[in-house]
Amino acid sequence: MHTEEPVLATNPEISDAQLYSTLTKLTALLENGLVLARSVDRIPPPGIATSRRVRALATSILNAIPEDLAIQTLDFDGHRKRLSSILKKLESSCKNDWHDGGDEQAEYMGQISADIGQWLPTIWDILQMGGYFHLARTCVAYCTEIIQGIGRCGSRTEYAYFDTSVCIEGDAGEVIFKSSSHISDALTWFWKELLIIDVAPKADPLSSTIIADLEKYNEIEDVFALIEGVDEEDRFRNHWTPEMHAASKELVLRRRNARIEEFMKAPTLRLYNSLVTESLKPSLIEGVRKDLSQIRPKIPLEDAVEIFKRNDLVDDIVPIVTWTRDSKTLCSMAKILSNSRSKKEEYGTVALKLLKQGLTDAREEIMNEIQDAFPGLEDATDWLEDVVYAKYDPEVLQKDEIQLSEVVARDVKRIVDRFVKKAQGSPYEYDRRYGSEDLTPNLSQPILDWLEVLGEWPNQAEAEEVWEEVRWRSQDDPFGVNGILLKMSYW
């Protein structure tokens, strides 16, 4: 029986078709051999040598077959060495010639971008062959690390403006992806594809390991923006299967629900900023409203006010006025409402009420600060009144105003020092309240915020009327007997 000799791969005249035929025959022979091997459940003594021969032949077959063509084509080690080498040169240039090495650094950046741009179509081709998903992911991850490495170099050359042409085509030559922008855009698109390919067969899309990669490389927001958004990138989905389209919708839905659930557990402005997207914004705002409807809302009221302000939801701000006594929050609401008074008369009415009450409360707060800082103030004021009228009354001294000034000038420092000591109270009281640190009471901040609102008030007549009603008059001065102490300090 004639047996056709297998074609040898070392023959340069062998065509790809002949090589494929040879591999097909070899596969059939090995499949038959595997069936025979599984039928041998024990090795009889006469067959020991034959068993060793079989194992040796199996090893020889593995060694004789060339390395996986996909691995050869990708040449991960070769690309890694080249990209790593260029990045090291860039790092060295930035370190040793930061000021004058801009042109050289730009050349290195361009080389890295061009190399990755040429490599991505090959990675895509291997990915489409099937069975090489993790290898493709490793390549894209390494490219991402290299690009982020450029950003860490701190070059004077602005890498963000480097554009690279990338074109990925399908088997029939159709365009799968095309871009002439920054290479990071192509990498973001590739990450999106890896994610969708990975989640398509999964029951739980959020279980994809690619999501962890996206979080690691800070790509998750950009990738989901591509998945959720309807923009020019949308045309690069024609190659998706129905399963991939379904997976993308399920992925977006589950992630949105997970983010809303995360927000509702502990809603804050900071978390809102980190989660918000145009598609998610309505759900997050509704979450704030729902939280505020509770007896004890979780969200800080100042955060809720800021969220409503950013979204021009003034009607949602009005009810919060009665829920808080925090001066900064009320001050913020007064600004928002006064600036929105043209939209609804109610806003101006509420804002004006807030302004009057805010200034009044701020004045009382200053008095409270003074009382806390100077617990002996009342006794000190009585003492000062006695001293001033007893010793420095012009009628008593029978001196004119100039002569009186000379007398006061000699004693003013001593009087003021003693007044302060009396106002501070006993050493025990002072140390108990403030310890050994210098006392610096906050006498101005409570009212400064409200004065800013007053200064920016859109209706000047209203502002003057409010100020006339709440301003501090001379008889309210806690540091002088009809202002005498203040006058003394000028003499």
For 391-436, the pLDDT digits (tens) are 655 555 555 554 555 555 666 677 777 877 887 776 545 455 545 4
Measured distance CA(248)–CA(239) in Å, rounded: 14
pLDDT of the residue at 398: 52
Secondary structure class of 344 (helix, strand, coil): coil
Tokens 């007053």 correspond to 454
Is the pLDDT at 111 greater than 90? The verdict is yes
Structure tokens at 318: 């009005």
pLDDT of the residue at 287: 93
Question: CB 363: neighbour CB atoms within 10 A?
Answer: 17
User: Residue 4: which residues within 8 A CB-CB, separation 6 or more?
Assistant: none
Confidence of residue 486 (pLDDT cuts 50, 70, 90): very low
Residues 355/454, Cβ–Cβ less than 8 Å: yes
Is the pLDDT at 339 greater than 80? The verdict is yes
Considering only CA atoms, give the Rg of the chain: 40
Measured distance CA(328)–CA(334) in Å, rounded: 10
Higher pLDDT, 150 or 59: 150
Phi-psi region of 339 (alpha: psi -120 to 50; beta: other; left: phi over 0): alpha
Span of 172-176, 382-386, 388-392 with lowest mean pLDDT:
388-392
Rounded to 5 degrees, φ, ψ at 166 are: -135, 130
Residues 123/139, Cβ–Cβ less than 8 Å: yes
Is the pLDDT at 490 greater than 80? The verdict is no
pTM: predicted TM-score of the whole model, two decimal places? 0.59
Phi-psi region of 484 (alpha: psi -120 to 50; beta: other; left: phi over 0): alpha
Span of 15-29, 48-62, 191-205, 414-428 with lowest mean pLDDT:
414-428
Distances (CA, A) of 17 to 13, 20, 258, 329, 488: 11, 5, 52, 77, 110
Measured distance CA(122)–CA(187) in Å, rounded: 13
Average pLDDT, the chain: 81
Tens digits of residue pLDDT in 455-484: 888 888 888 888 888 776 655 555 444 444
Rounded to 5 degrees, φ, ψ at 126 are: -70, -40
Q: Mean of the pLDDT values across residues 437-456?
A: 70
Distances (CA, A) of 438 to 148, 380, 413, 435: 50, 20, 20, 8
Measured distance CA(188)–CA(179) in Å, rounded: 12
Residue ranges per structural domain of the chain: 16-66, 71-256, 269-361, 366-490
**Element (H or E) spanning 176, and its range?**
strand 175-179
Rounded to 5 degrees, φ, ψ at 229 are: -75, 155
Q: What is the DSSP letter of 178?
A: E
The CA-based diameter of the chain, rounded to the nearest angstrom, is 148
Cα–Cα nearest to 233, from 207, 196, 202: 196
